[in-house]
Amino acid sequence: MKHIFELYNYVRERHNIVWTFKGIFLALIKSTNKLPKNVDILFFCHDVHRHVKKNGKMYAPLLDPIIEEIEQDNECFTLASPFSKLSGKKCFGKVDIHNSFIIFALLKRFFLNFSLKLMNVDNDPLIKGYEKIFKKIEPKKILAIQPSIELCIAAKKMNIKTFDVQHGIITDVNYYNLSKRHSFNQLGWPDYILCWDKESELRLKRLTDNKVNSKVVGHPSYHSGYGYLERENFQRKNNFKNLSLKKKILVSLTYLDYGVDHEDSYYKEIGIPKELVLLIKNTSEFEWHLRMHPVQLKYSHKRISKYLKNLFSNNKNVYWEEPSKTSLSQALFASVGHITVESATALDAAQNSVPTILIGCPGVSNRNKADLYFKEYLDKKIMKFVDSKDLSNLSLDFFLSEFDFKKKNKFLDEGNKNFKNFVEELKN
């Protein structure tokens, strides 16, 4: 029973149960699909990262912009990560599910070791499974979002370079934790971790004790041709000559687990504290754009929308429907500033040269937690921490003076240059 419980937790911790078993079923019935040979670059991506629709197909903002930039000169192919269900015509690019080997490898590991954990690098069924796949595809390079320890070890054995594309905040609580790879002499790292900016790279080096190589390449979604197109489409649609002069502030609502309890009823309902609600209500010189978390938008959109409508019924400068449904790139591009409690959207804002105010909320976030996630950005004054009790005296001049448009352009141009250089390296 103990081992069955471990198997259940393994699946539950990774993805939705129903979604996972649907992915397993699809992997099994599609396991006869032929894999391409002599692929220049092999990509790994899970459904959760393929969350944008582009021309009616599911698009991965962190990986697909790279594919768009290099596919004319390189043969690219994407394997759906374990337990995915999206492939084929539903997705942008060449995407296939061929993960039956992973399922059988995990089952074999479980029955051999009575555990799903990696125990022996030399004889592990999952590492051997990846080796088998790589021998068929013969990729020259692998790009993935947080590739597994087993994938990285298998690639190293076959002299295939692996690249991890940064996904959100770099912390030591999950993927970038040294202890996970300690038992294997740190073998399970990718060859390079592709960071969005210098601040993320500094954090990575500190957390990994310089045990992994890194490259600062910019954010693929914002610095690729796809990112430029997003901005152009938005500018053309809204007919703005200089968006920096439009005083719009984006507020990222925090996703709350079902059943969460908090003394602040506003935070409990929508993920922002009472003091911020009052600031929005009492500040008319800005246009406030409230953006629901994707999970809120999917599962509790009607309830939250009704709540916001009642809350801001007398405020004609507060919007939430359009900001929640438009792309994050466009929402940030239109904004002079961004406010959140602890959303990773703060990093996206930095990539778009939009300054962020991080709010301290009792029982949720404080200065120590903000430093844990965003210290490098706070030190550089790309972000600013303000305790919720001080919001009534907050001057929003931070958005208009401390981080001016010239500085914004410089920050954005640096990311554009880094991404362009990385693309050229990949092509060669």
Within 26-81, strands assigned E span 41-45, 52-54, 57-59, 76-80
Give the pLDDT score at 14: 47
Which position has the higher pLDDT, 398 or 422?
Answer: 422
CATH architecture under which domain 2-165 falls: 3-Layer(aba) Sandwich (3.40)
Mean pLDDT of the chain: 82
395 φ/ψ angles, rounded to the nearest 5 degrees:
-95, 125
* Position 200 pLDDT exceeds 80: yes
With 0-12 CB in 10 A as exposed, 13-18 as middle and 19+ as buried, what is 363?
exposed
Over residues 138-158, mean pLDDT? 95
Provide the angle, in degrees to the nearest 10, between the axes of the packed helices 149-157 and 125-137.
Answer: 50
CATH domain 237-411 topology:
Rossmann fold (3.40.50)
Over residues 282-300, mean pLDDT? 85
- Range(s) of the chain covered by CATH 3.40.50.2000: 237-411
Query: Which of the given ranges, 164-168, 178-182, 300-304, 424-428, has the highest pLDDT on average?
Result: 164-168
| Distance (Å) of CA 89 to CA 56, 58, 76, 304, 329 | 10, 9, 16, 34, 25
Give the pLDDT score at 242: 46
Percent of the chain with pLDDT over 90: 33
Give the pLDDT score at 245: 46
Tokens linked to 359: 């709010």
